[in-house]
Structure formats: C-alpha cells, structure tokens
Amino acid sequence: MSSESLNTTGAFSQAKDLKNRIFFTILILMIYRLGTYVPLAGIDPLALKEIMASSQKGLLGMFNMFSGGAVTRMAIFALGIMPYISSSIIVQLLTGVSDYFKSLKEQGEIGRKKITQITRYGTVLIACLQGYGVSIGLENAGNLVIEPGMSFRIITTISLVAGTTFLMWLGEQITLRGVGNGISLIIFSGIVAEIPRALASTFELGRTGALSALMIVGIFVLVILTVLFIVFFERAMRKILINYPKRQVGNKMYGGESSHLPLKINTAGVIPAIFASALLLLPVTISNFGFAESDTFLKISSMFTQGQPLYMLLYASGIIFFSFFYTSIVFNPKETSENLRKYGGYIPGIRPGDRTAEYIETILMRLTTVGALYLTFVCLMPEFLIAKYPIPFYLGGTSILIVVVVAMDTVTQVQTRLMSSQYESLIKKTKFGK
C-alpha cells in the first residue's frame, strides 16, 4: 500500500463528522429501499405480477427505473421522487418568467426558503393528482383490485402521497446531514439496487437463447465504453486565463498572479436527463401503467415506447432545453464578470465589464451546446438497442449516466470534506501542538 493511500486512510479515520455523515446516508438509503417493498393495500399480488411482466417497455420501464422497482411491486413509493422533480421544474421555469419568483430569488436565504416551501406544496399537489390517477388506473386493470371503490381510491392516493412526501423529507435529510445530493442519491440507489437483477435477467436471456453470447458480450462492452465516455466528458472543462494586476503597498509588490476560470463542458450535470424524463412521465400518469384498453390509448401508448420517433424527439428536445435552461440558472456570466472586476481580475485581451461577460457567455454557450449533444447521445443511443432487443431498462444510457455522474459528485464531496477535516486538524496542531 502506498504512503498516499495510508495518509488518506488515516485522515478518514480521524474525520468523525464525515464518518457520521456517510453512516447516516447509508441508513436513510436503507430505509428507502425497505419502503419499496411495502405494498399498497387491496391489490392482488399474483394479478399484478402477470400485468407487470408484460409491461416493462417505454414510459412504464422509465417510471419503474426512477422508483427503484417500486412500480412493479406497486409499493407505497411507486410514485418515487418524480412529483418533487416535476414541481422543481415548474418552479424553476416560473423563476425565469415570473417577476414574483424572480424577486424571491434575489432575496437571498429568505427567498430560497420560500421557493423551497412552494416546491414542497407543489410536490404534494402533483402527488395527489398522480396518486388518484394511479388508483383509477389500477381499478381499470380488471381483477387487479380486490375491492374497487372510492375507499380504495382514497387509501391508495393517501398512501402514495405519504410515500412521496416521506421520500422528499428523506432526500432533504441526506442533503443536510449526509453526503451528496439527497434526491439524486435516492434515484441512484434505486437504480443500483436493481442492476444485479437486470444483469441476472440478461444472462437468463442468453441461457434461453433469446440473446446470443456475442450479443451479451457486446452489451457489456458497450456499457463499459459508455461509462468511460461519461467520465471523460464530466471531467472535461475549458479553462479561461485570469490575470491580476500588480499593486504596490509600501515597499512591497502584491498581485501579478494568474489563475483560471474553469467552465465544465456539461455544467448542468445529470439534471437535464432527469428533468426530461420527468416531463415525459408527468402528462401520462394514468396511461404509463398500460391499464387502459381504448384504441386511443393504445395509439398514444405505442408512440411512447423505445425507438419510436415521438418518444425520441420529445426526450432529446427535453434534454437540450434543460441543458441550456439549467446552465443559465446555475451560472451567471454578468455576476462572474462583476466579481472579477471587483477583485481586479481580467481576461487578457478582453475589456473588463460587459465585454468580459459577453466573452464568457459566448464560450459557455458553445460548451453547453457540446454538453447537450453529449447528454442526448448517451441517453438515446442505447434506447434503440433496448427497443430492438429484450434488454433491461437499467442497462440503458439514462440509468448509466445517473449512476456514474451521481457517484462522481458524491466522491468529490467526500474528498472535499476529507480535505477540510485534514486542514482543521492541521490548524489545531499548529495552535496547540507547540
């Protein structure tokens, strides 16, 4: 074992706060996984198994992926965290067009708390609508519900809303007291937990002859290449040179240094893929379960399956839109330019102020275009393969993207907190170790 790894291990053993945060995160995720196995009341499990076995493509498969397999078991977490994501989309869109939400955003911490509260209320409202829609869809499935009626609808709706609200609270607790982004980690854990089952079903397809051995090897090679491709793009960035002028204070010269303004190619991260998926799932709460039997539904449902032009077009459009939209929210070129001018920094050959903001915005637009195309390629290319062959949804581009990006972000946060604890211990030794 190298000295560097030994130092890291020793530092980790001393980072008590970080260990507590990691253990807390694991505990919360275990609670979430247990909840995905708690079934809704009044549903025939055998009939549910038969229906779900033949309805794993298209939006149902995507819905099941984001819920961590809770849809196939029709658990209390069947809606997953998607109502919260849908509410976040609506609030963020309103932030860009509504003066009221713009003013809230400018109010700092108080405004942020108000926006969070509105998002929570929106989550409950959307969950109520989706939960009631699911209850009606379950009743229309034939012999699935043991005792259909208004009581079943009310109990099902309350159970699903309570499950989603509890998930929202768990995600917020991870963000506050754990490591990483809570909502992303909940989606991440649901996908990771179902991957072994997806691998087992893939090998089973090879055993039965549905997939050839060469095809299975090709699938795993494609998955590995996709992971490497994602890691490369997530690490890639454009560094803008920043110079600081020299200044004299007394007899000493200060400044004259140079640094870099790092701009990631994919500034938005995994958010566009999640938001685009949520946008596809939102308007078809009832139909995505495949319980309706009308000709109109069947036509609409067939359009929202893997490989279909409408499905691909809407998905790609959503990813590209949210890539630019979310980047515009998280990065403000004018604010960055003002901060540079305040501290005396400048880009060589570019006048400080508006010209600097325009220059940064131009580079950011080019990078976001590349990032949006990269996300679209990763999310859509495997979908054609899934549409053609009976491959589990969990081996698709969207699920791999979420797993890799969330894992990288979480590891980065762990490393940051580890370095922070090292600096704190060093300061203590410097002060009191003499």
CA distances in angstroms from 230 to 72, 170, 209, 411, 424, listed in the order given: 29, 28, 31, 15, 34
**How high is the pLDDT of residue 1?**
45
251 falls within a domain: yes
* Tens-place pLDDT, residues 65-77: 777 777 778 888 8
- Most confidently modeled range among 26-40, 289-303, 339-353: 26-40
220 falls within a domain: yes
Query: Going by C-beta distance under 8 Å and a sequence separation of 6 or more, which residues neighbour residue 21?
Result: 177, 178, 179, 417
Task: Name the domain count of the chain.
Answer: 1
* Higher pLDDT pick, 380 / 13: 380
Residue 107's domain comprises: 14-432
4 falls within a domain: no
Burial (CB < 10 A; 0-12, 13-18, 19+), residue 194, is: buried
Return d(Cα 215, Cα 385) in angstroms, integer: 11
* Higher pLDDT pick, 281 / 377: 377
Find the range with the poorest average confidence among 13-27, 348-362, 389-403: 389-403
262 falls within a domain: yes
Please state the rounded mean pLDDT for residues 273-291. 65
Residue 162 has pLDDT above 90, yes or no: yes
8 falls within a domain: no
* Tens-place pLDDT, residues 284-335: 554 544 444 555 555 666 666 666 777 788 888 999 999 998 888 888 888 8
Please state the rounded mean pLDDT for residues 26-55. 82
State pTM to two decimals.
0.79
Average pLDDT value over all residues in the chain: 79
Find the range with the poorest average confidence among 20-29, 167-176, 200-209, 217-226: 200-209
Provide the Cα torsion 76, 79, 83, 84; round to 10°. Answer: 60
Burial (CB < 10 A; 0-12, 13-18, 19+), residue 200, is: exposed
349 falls within a domain: yes
β-sheet bridge partners, residue 241: 260
**How high is the pLDDT of residue 392?**
64
Dihedral (CA of 413, 416, 418, 424) sign = negative
362 falls within a domain: yes
Return d(Cα 4, Cα 11) in angstroms, integer: 10
CB atoms under 10 Å from CB of 191, counted, come to: 22
* Higher pLDDT pick, 104 / 77: 77
3 falls within a domain: no
Three-class secondary structure of residue 9 per DSSP: helix
Confidence of residue 6 (pLDDT cuts 50, 70, 90): very low
**Residue 330, both tokens:** 């998280």
Task: Give me the CATH number covering residue 384.
Answer: 1.10.3370.10
